[in-house]
C-alpha cells in the first residue's frame, strides 16, 4: 500500500541549513506536501510541489523532488529557533497520506 517514510528526529545548529528527507511509494502521486506542526497546534501547510516539477523555492524553503527515486526533501536555510517543530511530508493521489513527522531540534 501507499507509504511515506521520514526520519523521526533531526538536530541542527542555529544558522545552519536543515534538510529533512522523505521517501514515498506511490508513483502516481500528483502533489507532495510539507506541513509544519508547532507544539500543541494543528498542521500548517508550508509548501507543496507538483509531481512534474524538480524544485520549488519559497524564501528560506527549498523543496527538491526526485521522482525516479521517489525522494522528497525540504531544505530550510538559516535555521532559526522558530523553525523548531515537527515537519510532515505527505503525498496525494486520491487521498493525502502523511509520514510520521520529523522533529526538528535547534541547537544554540
What is the contact surface with another protein in residues (CB under 8 A)?
Answer: 8, 31, 33, 35, 40-45, 48, 88, 92-96, 98-101
Q: Which is nearer to another protein, 24 or 33 (CB)?
A: 33
CA-to-CA distance for 12 and 106, rounded, in angstroms? 5
Instruction: Tell me how far the alpha carbon of residue 49 is from its chain's centroid.
Output: 11
Least CB distance to another protein at residue 52 (A): 17
What does the block give as the cell for 45?
501547510
- Distance of closest approach, residue 45 Cβ to another protein, in angstroms: 6
CB count within 10 Å of CB 57 equals 12
Cβ-based nearer residue to another protein, 68 or 95? 95
Whole-number minimum distance, CB 82 to another protein, in Å? Answer: 18
CB of 28 to another protein, least distance (A): 12
Whose Cβ is closer to another protein: residue 77's or residue 84's? 84
The candidate with the shortest Cα–Cα distance to 91, out of 21, 8, 4, is 4
In contact, 49 and 74? CB cutoff 8 Å: no
Amino acid at each position: 500500500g501507499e507509504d511515506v517514510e521520514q526520519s523521526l528526529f533531526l538536530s541542527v545548529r542555529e544558522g545552519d541549513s536543515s534538510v529533512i528527507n522523505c521517501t514515498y511509494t506511490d508513483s502516481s502521486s500528483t502533489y507532495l506536501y510539507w506541513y509544519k506542526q508547532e507544539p500543541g497546534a494543528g498542521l500548517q501547510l508550508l509548501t507543496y510541489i507538483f509531481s512534474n516539477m524538480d524544485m520549488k523555492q519559497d524564501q528560506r524553503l527549498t523543496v527538491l523532488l526526485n521522482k525516479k527515486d521517489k525522494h522528497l526533501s525540504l531544505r530550510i536555510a538559516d535555521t532559526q529557533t522558530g523553525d523548531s517543530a515537527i515537519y510532515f511530508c505527505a503525498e496525494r493521489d486520491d487521498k493525502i497520506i502523511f509520514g510520521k513527522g520529523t522533529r526538528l531540534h535547534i541547537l544554540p
